[in-house]
Amino acid sequence: QNQTKDFSKFPGAIVITTNCLMPPHETYEDKLFSLGPVGYPGINSVPYTEGGTFEFTSVIAKALELPGFTIDQPPRQVKTGFARKAVLNVADQVIEAVKQGKIRHFFLVGGCDGAKPDRNYYTEFVEKVPEDCVVLTLACGKFRFFDKQLGEIGSIPRLMDVGQCNDAYSAIQIALGLAQAFEIDVNQLPLSMILSWYEQKAVAVLLTLLYLGIKDIRLGPTLPAFISPNVFKLLSEKYNLKPITTPEQDLAICLS
């Protein structure tokens, strides 16, 4: 979502290593390089050598050609790395915080991102989450709000970055691990899933969650094309799948 703004400002060469590439703007396309399976018309590609490694000579040359950062900027930091092992290793602290009423609810807010304005819903949702709640996030959708300073509950960060879309497994394991620790079904956890979809990987994650019997998922900003009215009726009846509405309304229902 922020590529056109951030890449234009960045005073160096940029190597794209994943398929989450927005159509590049002419202001920075000459310093953009694709790697491996990633590609886009008119963008330089980092070539393979005969030995099967990548040849970064062109990237280095472009980096040396560009000015780089000429003035210091105030440092900004975000916390990452809250995959299943990191979170479940402190599960006792999380459980105790829930039992003491310090943590009321968990929200998993994540998924794919896109450029449509209605995706601002996810940023607004996270900003409106009450201070006694924790937000887990992952995948490209997190970049709308992953740098928000939500503070902590005790020593537990209120915003935990689980990783990228292929780390959805970690998020599932965290939910299952907490359910096991509380000795309840995962659908009985004080947990709500607010997901955004855009393309194939998100559909695969959604189908995985449904296969595992996860209910009460809220999905948006629009429903996938394969969810026809009849399919939606079935998923609503069996899994209580819902489309998102407004941050205020969905928060109120999740916390009721």
- Architecture of the 3-65 domain: 3-Layer(aba) Sandwich (3.40)
pLDDT at position 19 is: 67
Q: Which two tokens stand for residue 148?
A: 């928000």
pLDDT at position 112 is: 80
Q: Which residues contact 249 (CB under 8 A, 6 or more apart)?
A: none
Q: Domain ranges for the chain, please list them.
A: 3-65, 84-254
pLDDT at position 20 is: 72
Domains 3-65 and 84-254 share a fold: yes
Sequential DSSP letters for 38-51: ---TT-EEPPBPTT
Phi and psi at 250, nearest 5°, equal -65, -40
Amino acid letter for position 249: Q
Let me know: does 136 contact 109? Beta carbons within 8 Å. Answer: yes
Amino acid letter for position 188: Q
pLDDT block averages, 10 residues each, the chain of length 256:
84 86 88 87 88 91 94 82 86 90 94 76 95 92 88 92 84 90 92 84 82 92 86 94 95 96
The third-level CATH classification (topology) of the domain covering 84-254 is Rossmann fold (3.40.50)
The residue written with tokens 């310093």 in the block is 31
Helix (H) or strand (E) holding 126: helix 120-128
The residue written with tokens 């490209």 in the block is 140
Sign of the Cα torsion 203, 209, 215, 216 reads: negative
Distance CA 95, CA 182 (A): 8
From residue 136, give the alpha-carbon distance in Å to each of 56, 176, 237: 36, 14, 27
Phi and psi at 26, nearest 5°, equal -65, -20
pLDDT at position 115 is: 67
Distance CA 141, CA 146 (A): 9
First to last CA, the chain: 32
Sequential DSSP letters for 169-235: HHHHHHHHHHHHHHTS-GGGSSEEEEEE--SHHHHHHHHHHHHTT----EEESS--TT--HHHHHHH
Cis check for the bond before 130: say yes or no (omega within 30 of 0). Answer: no
